[in-house]
Amino acid sequence: MSKISPDNVFLGLLAAQSCHGYQLLDHFRDVNRLSSVWNLSTSQLYSILKRLECKEYIDGREEESVDAPMRTVYWLTDKGKTRLDAWLNEPYPSASTRAIRTEFLSRLYICRLLKRPTQDIIAAQRDSCQQHRKDLMQQRDALAAGAGYLSLDLRVREMTVIMGWLEIAETMFNNIRTK
């Protein structure tokens, strides 16, 4: 399993608009944006920006401001655009609860910000969860009654709830699109 980080979210934010660090941080501090999804400090933000710049996904330039100190404005590079598209179009997203709570919700947020459709992202997540649930059921059904069985049964039920929640997300985003 890959490490879950907001790196790709930054790429999406910079695809929407070139900006400086504090403008990016605003997305992670607003409850109507990403504050419920990610808990991000200022030092983490600048560490991520440095990492993305080293990987040549973003570039930046210092600019003067009339009423503030020098700031670095960042933008997405062609390499960053390619990475962002790969992330948004992930065919087999993780079915872990944590990845759904962070990566999936972030993909939806970025798609809305970029005015891209969300149907394929939701469909890929649903397919991944359905397969994961099926695999868990097979593992569970091969066990005798006991703690192992109950552990897998809990995870099967969790996937069932998540799949119902994905239907709600799909309906919500379809309604937003038609307004």
Answer yes or no: are the C-beta atoms of 126 and 163 closer than 8 Å. Answer: yes
Answer yes or no: are the C-beta atoms of 131 and 93 closer than 8 Å. Answer: no
pLDDT over 80 (residue 2): no
Sorted by where each begins, the domain ranges of the chain are 1-91, 117-179
Scored b (16 or more CB within 10 A) or e, 3-35 reads: eeebbbbbbbbbbeebbbbeebbebbeeeeebe
Summarised one tens digit per residue, pLDDT across range 146-175 is 999 999 999 999 999 999 999 999 998 877
What pLDDT sits at residue 166?
A: 96
What pLDDT sits at residue 1?
A: 43
Answer yes or no: are the C-beta atoms of 79 and 57 closer than 8 Å. Answer: yes
pLDDT over 80 (residue 178): no
What pLDDT sits at residue 43?
A: 92
Summarised one tens digit per residue, pLDDT across range 70-80 is 889 999 999 99
| CATH number, span 1-91 | 1.10.10.10
Cα 10 to Cα 27: distance, rounded to the nearest angstrom:
10
Phi, psi of 73 (to 5 degrees): -95, 130
pLDDT over 80 (residue 66): no
What pLDDT sits at residue 5?
A: 87
Summarised one tens digit per residue, pLDDT across range 80-118 is 999 999 999 999 999 999 999 999 999 999 999 999 999
In this predicted structure, which of 25-34, 62-71, 140-149 has the lowest mean pLDDT?
Answer: 62-71
Summarised one tens digit per residue, pLDDT across range 110-145 is 999 999 999 999 999 999 999 999 999 999 999 999
What pLDDT sits at residue 48?
A: 95
pLDDT over 90 (residue 50): yes
pLDDT over 90 (residue 53): yes
Indicate the pTM of the whole model: 0.89
